[in-house]
């Protein structure tokens, strides 16, 4: 009976999700005023503002600081930010599918400069701009909040985004008095992180961003670097727009355990080093574990989703795998993961007889550096894997209703005192280790594939399909020069890493065909990573 109820629940969720429609809203910080500086009229905005401790900072600055700075016991600076976005054309009653604030770094930072941030919304259906006369932290805040531990390396002018802030936006648009076209404001709070030799603060571009500190700025030099709010939402009326597909890992079999029939799935599977692990486990491990020189474990995962009702001529707008943590992890337990698809138009389930890593992989891959704090049973999702899904549905033989498999690969991260691995809930997830598990206790924690796509756009699809074409040559490299062609891609930065994950070179992608000097890098095996708005792609290179 429990099994029937679960299927009924999943059927209702799946069918309602498939036919839901989603729209995308993109809004930048906008001009609020002009000032005169050395005889020049400069556009400025008070919609992005800083507060240091209990004092407002200059409203018109080329960068925005957030986080914590410890100088000594007499000087401790906690910096808070306010960001206000106008013209939010989301109707009252809409469902927020996902939302992010997109920013560009103002200076490079190492992963050790961790900034612990709490993001809240201003509890106001149409907030006013920020002023020097009122503290940002005195504004009323939403009851929902989101933790953002920024513990990743930042380059110069590189693009980044917050975790999903959909719960904050949802609370605001649900308020009485909300109307399409109103403004929303967000409050980003730093905190006291104790005595620290790290800066524990990050800087990103403001509306008044500048190309060079000597130039002065009016937000015109690099308008693409101005903070941006991106929201995907669905309306009750179901307007035309993106289709939404939501599919969970499903049952493949049943087993008998102590006289009880338990539903299980071989569509989520683990491989540790060169051996398959138990197909039926309550959690899924991914990443790397260094015990000592004699015991190094690299864990790979396979996830297969069935019933993918996406037509072959669709354009994928975004795609994510949604998971729930199986145990808490600190931000320092960084897991470096590469996500590829299985290059198969309708793959089979996983077995103990064949390795996950032996399956044929897509050329499109996405890098996932999990460097954030996880709680117990908290919800998380991968970076956007639309390029992987796009390549699969473009395969000969793909048709609506087929299955899709993803391969998540860990890597050797060198000698480490951290676990460098994460665990999340499987189909066989359980509430208590003593209970046994059949995926019934918490079906909402089963891994889920979420895809937004447009139908019937073959011409656009062909163009997007070209985005996965990356040529890196010569390989091996004997001349000290590396060339790359990014055919149709919109990547913004590149970085080269050795086999331990250490970055040895990085820079900006200046054109779709570029040559870089690698003569200063020692011989060996390396990985070059290209990063852009939709995620990142990695290729192996050999330098002789």
Global pTM? 0.46
> What is the spatial distance between Cα 104 and Cα 209, in angstroms, rounded to a whole number?
10
**Segment among 143-152, 261-270, 507-516 with least mean pLDDT:** 507-516
> What is the spatial distance between Cα 370 and Cα 301, in angstroms, rounded to a whole number?
15
Looking at residues 18-36, what average pLDDT do you find?
A: 73
Q: Cα–Cα distances in Å, from 262 out to 231, 247, 427?
A: 40, 21, 11
Secondary element (H or E) of residue 299 = strand 295-308
Residues 431-448: tens digit of each pLDDT = 544 454 555 567 788 899
- pLDDT, residue 267, reads 92
- pLDDT, residue 494, reads 86
Residues 452-500: tens digit of each pLDDT = 888 764 333 333 232 334 778 787 888 888 887 765 456 778 888 887 6
| pLDDT(151) > 70 | yes
Query: Contact 106/155 with Cβ under 8 angstroms?
Result: no
**Segment among 97-106, 154-163, 505-514 with least mean pLDDT:** 505-514
User: Which of 36-40, 348-352, 472-476: highest mean pLDDT?
Assistant: 348-352
Q: Cα–Cα distances in Å, from 353 out to 256, 358, 428?
A: 21, 11, 21
The count of other CB atoms within 10 Å of the CB of residue 433 is: 8
Q: Cα dihedral sign for 302, 306, 312, 314? A: negative
Is residue 421 classed exposed, middle or buried when 0-12, 13-18 and 19+ CB atoms within 10 A define those classes?
A: buried
> What is the spatial distance between Cα 319 and Cα 303, in angstroms, rounded to a whole number?
14
Q: What is the DSSP letter of 136?
A: G
Query: Maximum Cα–Cα distance for the chain, whole Å?
Result: 85
Which residues are paired to 121 by β-bridges? 186
- pLDDT, residue 237, reads 44
Angle at 494 between CA 493 and CA 498, to 5 degrees: 150
> What is the spatial distance between Cα 331 and Cα 460, in angstroms, rounded to a whole number?
39
- The residues, any chain, with a CB within 8 Å of residue 152's CB and separated by 6 or more, are 111, 160, 369, 371
- pLDDT, residue 40, reads 66
Q: Bigger pLDDT: 73 or 392?
A: 392
> What is the spatial distance between Cα 150 and Cα 422, in angstroms, rounded to a whole number?
18
Q: Bigger pLDDT: 296 or 10?
A: 296
> What is the spatial distance between Cα 15 and Cα 487, in angstroms, rounded to a whole number?
37
- pLDDT, residue 330, reads 87
- pLDDT, residue 58, reads 77
- pLDDT, residue 464, reads 29
- The residues, any chain, with a CB within 8 Å of residue 538's CB and separated by 6 or more, are 338, 365, 367, 527, 528, 529, 530
> What is the spatial distance between Cα 96 and Cα 83, in angstroms, rounded to a whole number?
19
| pLDDT tier for residue 385 given thresholds of 50, 70 and 90 | very high
Conformational region of residue 439, where left means phi above 0, alpha means psi within -120 to 50, and beta covers everything else? left
| pLDDT tier for residue 138 given thresholds of 50, 70 and 90 | very high
3-state secondary structure of 475: coil
| pLDDT(118) > 90 | yes
Query: Contact 167/134 with Cβ under 8 angstroms?
Result: no
| pLDDT tier for residue 236 given thresholds of 50, 70 and 90 | low
- pLDDT, residue 466, reads 29
Q: Bigger pLDDT: 385 or 428?
A: 385
| pLDDT tier for residue 510 given thresholds of 50, 70 and 90 | confident
- pLDDT, residue 38, reads 66
* Cα radius of gyration rounded to whole Å, the chain: 24
- State the average pLDDT for the chain: 81
Residues 161-216: tens digit of each pLDDT = 999 999 999 999 999 989 888 899 999 998 888 887 777 788 898 988 865 544 54
- pLDDT, residue 177, reads 87
Residues 270-287: tens digit of each pLDDT = 988 888 887 888 888 888
| pLDDT(404) > 50 | yes
Query: Contact 6/443 with Cβ under 8 angstroms?
Result: yes
**Segment among 2-16, 72-86, 333-347 with least mean pLDDT:** 2-16
> What is the spatial distance between Cα 129 and Cα 45, in angstroms, rounded to a whole number?
9
Instruction: Tell me the HSE value of 400 on the side-chain side, using a 13 A CA sphere.
Output: 11
Question: Which residue, 196, 195, 221, 192, is CA-closest to 209?
Answer: 221
| pLDDT(407) > 90 | yes
């Amino acid at each position: 009976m429990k099994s029937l109820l679960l299927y009924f629940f999943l059927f209702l969720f799946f069918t309602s999700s498939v036919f839901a429609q989603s729209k995308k809203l993109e809004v930048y910080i906008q001009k609020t005023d002009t000032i005169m500086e050395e005889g020049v009229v400069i556009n400025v905005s008070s919609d992005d503002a800083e507060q240091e401790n209990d004092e407002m900072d200059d409203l018109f600055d080329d960068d925005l600081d957030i986080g914590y700075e410890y100088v000594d016991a007499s000087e401790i600076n906690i910096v808070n930010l306010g960001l206000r976005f106008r013209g939010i054309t989301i109707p009252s009653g809409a469902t927020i599918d996902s939302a992010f604030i997109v920013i560009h770094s103002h200076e490079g930072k190492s992963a050790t400069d961790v900034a612990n941030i709490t993001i809240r919304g201003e509890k106001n259906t149409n907030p006013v701009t920020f002023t020097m006369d009122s503290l940002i932290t005195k504004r009323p805040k939403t009851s929902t909040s989101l933790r953002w531990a920024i513990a990743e390396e930042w380059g110069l002018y590189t693009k980044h985004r917050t975790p999903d802030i959909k719960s904050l936006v949802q609370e605001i648009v649900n308020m009485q008095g909300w109307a399409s076209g109103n403004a929303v404001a967000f409050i980003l709070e730093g905190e006291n992180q104790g005595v620290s030799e790290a800066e524990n603060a990050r800087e990103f571009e403001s509306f008044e961003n500048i190309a060079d500190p000597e130039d002065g700025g009016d937000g015109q030099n690099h308008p693409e670097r101005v903070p941006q709010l991106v929201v995907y939402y669905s309306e009750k009326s179901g307007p035309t727009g993106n289709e939404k597909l939501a599919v969970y890992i499903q049952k493949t079999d049943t087993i008998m355990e102590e006289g009880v029939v338990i539903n299980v799935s071989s569509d989520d599977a683990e491989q540790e080093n060169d051996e398959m692990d138990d197909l039926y486990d309550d959690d899924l491990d991914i990443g790397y574990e260094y015990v000592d020189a004699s015991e190094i474990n690299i864990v790979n995962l396979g996830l297969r989703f069935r019933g993918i009702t996406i037509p072959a001529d669709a354009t994928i707008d975004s795609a994510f795998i949604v998971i729930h943590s199986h145990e808490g992890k600190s931000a320092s337990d960084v897991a470096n993961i590469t996500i590829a698809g299985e290059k198969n138009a309708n793959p089979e389930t996983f077995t103990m007889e064949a390795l996950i890593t032996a399956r044929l992989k897509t050329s499109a891959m996405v890098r996932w550096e999990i460097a954030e704090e996880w709680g117990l049973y908290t919800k998380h999702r991968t970076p956007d894997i639309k390029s992987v899904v796009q390549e699969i549905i473009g395969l000969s033989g793909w048709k609506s209703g087929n299955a899709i498999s993803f391969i998540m690969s860990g890597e050797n991260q060198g000698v480490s005192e951290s676990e460098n691995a994460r665990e999340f809930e499987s189909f066989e997830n359980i509430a208590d280790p003593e209970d046994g598990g059949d995926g019934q206790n918490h079906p909402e924690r089963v891994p889920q594939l979420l895809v937004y796509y447009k139908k019937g756009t073959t011409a656009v699809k062909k163009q997007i399909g070209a985005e996965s074409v990356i040529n890196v040559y010569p390989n091996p490299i004997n001349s000290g020069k590396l060339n790359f062609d990014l055919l149709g891609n919109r990547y913004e930065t590149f970085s080269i890493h050795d086999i331990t994950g250490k970055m040895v070179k990085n820079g900006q992608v200046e054109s779709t065909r570029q040559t870089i000097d690698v003569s200063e890098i020692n011989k060996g095996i390396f990985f070059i990573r290209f990063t852009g708005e939709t995620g990142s792609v990695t290729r192996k290179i050999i330098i002789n």
